Chains A and B, each alone.
Chain A
Amino acid sequence: MRTSMTQRLAAGAGIVVLLILPQLVQERYFLHIAVMAGIYTILTLSWNLLAGYTGQLNLGHAAFFGIGAYTSALVAMKLGISSWFGLLAGGGLAAFFGFLLGFPSLRLSGPYLAITTIGFAEILRLVAINWVDLTRGSLGLSGIPLLSPIRLGSWTMKFYYERDYYYVVLAAVLLTYYCIRRFTHSEFGVSLQALRDDEQGAQSIGINTSRYKLTAFTLSAFFAGIAGALFAHFARLVSPDTMSLHVTFDTLTMTMIGGLGTIAGPILGAVALTFLSEWLRTLEDFLKMDIRLVLYGLLLILTILFMRGGLVGLFKGLAERFRSLQRSRNIGVDHD
């Protein structure tokens, strides 16, 4: 569980690259995709906390995303206070709903939990469609204000540009990463994984499973809400589609392909698939068809059938093979 020196160096170098990325590539389209990849990363990391670490299949994750998006947008539009409060309110309200949804999930598992969580998201989507006074129904909310600018002396950060927004999303991704890593590496988190592998065993050695599950649900929902809020102020349009099943399915596809139950997997999956699907979109003119989602489905099936560890598992396997190859070669040298 301890991080080695090389791992720390690699992480440091990665962060530096991410920080100077907008200076290296100034193309706005690229930065737009990078922001979306960041938002998806928060979604996959938070979903993975439940599915990957506690083994609870939450198929209503889109609901938290939507709650965050609508709350933050409405706070900024109706109350007229700084949109940063909206961001927090979005996360907070999503966390509250996550806490509530955590209760039935204590008693349910597998398909029962999956359907209950889908039901939760579908009911909220219907509310978003039908509470027209507040949400403007299926039209959705448009003209959502940008994040309020930050002024530090003469230096101002406005969030009109993708570049500036990139840094906000990057900060949120790092925060999510940090919190979830702390959580999964803590004593708490280790118990959580024990829970996933053997619930009765975990209970018998005195782990309070209910508290852990509820905390995991609340935390997961909080970050999904933050992702939704960030999406709202970036896209500046929020419709009931933010709560549709497809948002959840995108999230789970990315997580599975990256590697369920790891920290690097969801990040890798979200970034790789966001960029892949943008690339496929440019290919669409050439192919005259949209094969993006067909590929998602196919990759998801293939991952589960042949590559259960996802990309992370694949890389680990390759590294392992490389190392053992090197070892056997060294032995050969000794014999000479």
Chain B
Amino acid sequence: MESLFLQQTLNGLIIGSIYSLIAIGLTMIFGVMKISNFAHGDYSMVGAYTAVFVMAWIPGWIGWVGSVIAAAAVVGILGIVTERIIFRPLIDRWTDIDMIMVSIGLFILLENLAQLFFGATPRMISDPFKSATVNIGGISTSMLRVLCLIFSCFAIGVLQVFLNRSKLGVAIRATSQNRYAAQLMGIDINLIYILTFAVGAALAGVGGVLYGTIFAVHPLMGAMPTLKAFVVTILGGMGNLRGAIFGGFILGIAESLGGNYLSMEYQHAIGFCMIILVLLLRPTGLFGTKESR
């Protein structure tokens, strides 16, 4: 009984760490540019496909690490391209609705382009550990999942150091707090936009590799990470980085335990019920400060 609980908590932590990773990118982009990007999960989809191709080319360990790096690079560039072509022209004359709609357009476009080029058949990212498992005090899980957990925690840590210690990272946070004040302090806002999109998309791409490692890779997989990332960002407060990190773990564990003890069928609904409660009771998110919606 207790081991089942621990087992599910561990599963929740693993999935949750991936949710965090994807949601951090979304919340960064929202914080800095006030863009709600519904195509965010498709960055993950592209990342996952990058991994599928790299792994087919270089198998094993090195391939897996290589594919994570490749996914970050490819999706980072994709993020910059979409920012330049689609979001940037709208930023000065945006309304919430325009921004959301244009990102939905991007979502439809990327999803169907992927279907066109890669076909509808699901693919797998091959397991460099050949399905080896680890057993810690009665809880067992695959090596791969443990690697996913360690890796996403590592990526989150690196990002934290970047945002808190480096000059550019501080500039991103400053822009997120107040765009105009940041500009007055001599921050090149244009560069910050590009950088934010590159880093945010790259994180989603890396998250996509991990997500695709645990689930399957297919052209329509992007919808799920998009929705989960939005749930996480709303739980943590939109634009709040710390909130997104904790929100991801909370959602992962809630889904895992809820799926086990409440209802497997409605597992996917748990997140939505949580955000409806959060929005009604504490609209700035669980970790939110005073800020209007």
A111 in contact with B109 (CB, 8 Å): no
Please report the C-alpha to C-alpha distance between residue A126 and residue B258 in the assembled complex, in whole angstroms: 15
Residue A122 lies at the interface, judged by CB distance under 8 Å to chain B:
yes
Q: How far is the CB of B102 from chain A (nearest CB, A)?
A: 5
B100 in contact with A110 (CB, 8 Å): yes
Chain A 123-165 interface residues, beta-carbon cutoff 8 Å to B:
123, 126, 129-130
Q: How far is the CB of A73 from chain B (nearest CB, A)?
A: 22
Residue A313 lies at the interface, judged by CB distance under 8 Å to chain B:
no
Residue A104 lies at the interface, judged by CB distance under 8 Å to chain B:
yes
B interface majority secondary structure: helix
When distances are taken between beta carbons in the complex, the residues of chain A under 8 Å from B266 are 123, 126, 130
B272 in contact with A123 (CB, 8 Å): yes
When distances are taken between beta carbons in the complex, the residues of chain B under 8 Å from A57 are 96-97, 100
Residue B65 lies at the interface, judged by CB distance under 8 Å to chain A:
no
Q: Which of B8-16, B155-163, B190-198, B227-235 contacts A (4 or more CB under 8 A)?
A: B227-235
Residue B4 lies at the interface, judged by CB distance under 8 Å to chain A:
no
B268 in contact with A122 (CB, 8 Å): yes
Please report the C-alpha to C-alpha distance between residue A119 and residue B98 in the assembled complex, in whole angstroms: 21
With contacts A126-B266, A294-B113, A297-B109 taken as known, whether A114 is within 8 angstroms of B100 at the C-beta atoms is yes
When A and B form their complex, what is the total count of cross-chain residue pairs whose Cβ atoms lie within 8 Å? 126
With contacts A126-B268, A297-B112 taken as known, whether A111 is within 8 angstroms of B100 at the C-beta atoms is yes
Residue A176 lies at the interface, judged by CB distance under 8 Å to chain B:
no
A297 in contact with B269 (CB, 8 Å): no
A249 in contact with B283 (CB, 8 Å): no
A104 in contact with B279 (CB, 8 Å): yes
| Contact code string A292-314 (vs B, CB < 8 Å = 1, else 0) | 01101111110011001000000
Chain B 240-291 interface residues, beta-carbon cutoff 8 Å to A:
265-266, 268-269, 271-273, 275-276, 279-280, 283
Q: How far is the CB of B109 from chain A (nearest CB, A)?
A: 3
When distances are taken between beta carbons in the complex, the residues of chain A under 8 Å from B269 are 119, 122-123, 126
Residue A71 lies at the interface, judged by CB distance under 8 Å to chain B:
no
A111 in contact with B101 (CB, 8 Å): no
Q: Which of A110, A123, A298 contacts B109 (CB 8 A)?
A: A298
Query: Nearest B residue to A304 by beta-carbon distance?
Result: B102
When distances are taken between beta carbons in the complex, the residues of chain B under 8 Å from A129 are 265
When distances are taken between beta carbons in the complex, the residues of chain A under 8 Å from B111 are 293, 297
Please report the C-alpha to C-alpha distance between residue A104 and residue B273 in the assembled complex, in whole angstroms: 13
Residue B238 lies at the interface, judged by CB distance under 8 Å to chain A:
yes
Please report the C-alpha to C-alpha distance between residue A51 and residue B90 in the assembled complex, in whole angstroms: 19
B105 in contact with A116 (CB, 8 Å): no
Q: How far is the CB of A248 from chain B (nearest CB, A)?
A: 9
B280 in contact with A304 (CB, 8 Å): no
When distances are taken between beta carbons in the complex, the residues of chain A under 8 Å from B189 are none
With contacts A55-B97, A109-B293, A245-B223 taken as known, whether A300 is within 8 angstroms of B276 at the C-beta atoms is no
Please report the C-alpha to C-alpha distance between residue A304 and residue B110 in the assembled complex, in whole angstroms: 17
Please report the C-alpha to C-alpha distance between residue A18 and residue B289 in the assembled complex, in whole angstroms: 57
Please report the C-alpha to C-alpha distance between residue A125 and residue B106 in the assembled complex, in whole angstroms: 24
Q: How far is the CB of B76 from chain A (nearest CB, A)?
A: 21
With contacts A110-B36, A111-B36 taken as known, whether A293 is within 8 angstroms of B97 at the C-beta atoms is no
A253 in contact with B108 (CB, 8 Å): yes
B231 in contact with A112 (CB, 8 Å): no
B112 in contact with A294 (CB, 8 Å): yes
Residue A278 lies at the interface, judged by CB distance under 8 Å to chain B:
no
B residues in contact (CB < 8 Å) with A: 30, 36, 38, 86, 89-90, 95-98, 100-102, 104-113, 115-116, 223, 227, 230-231, 234, 238, 265-266, 268-269, 271-273, 275-276, 279-280, 283, 293
A-B residue pairs, 5 tightest by C-beta? A297-B109, A119-B272, A297-B108, A300-B105, A110-B96
Given A115-B231, A119-B231, 10 extra CB contacts under 8 A: A111-B230, A111-B238, A115-B230, A115-B234, A122-B227, A122-B268, A253-B108, A293-B111, A298-B105, A301-B109
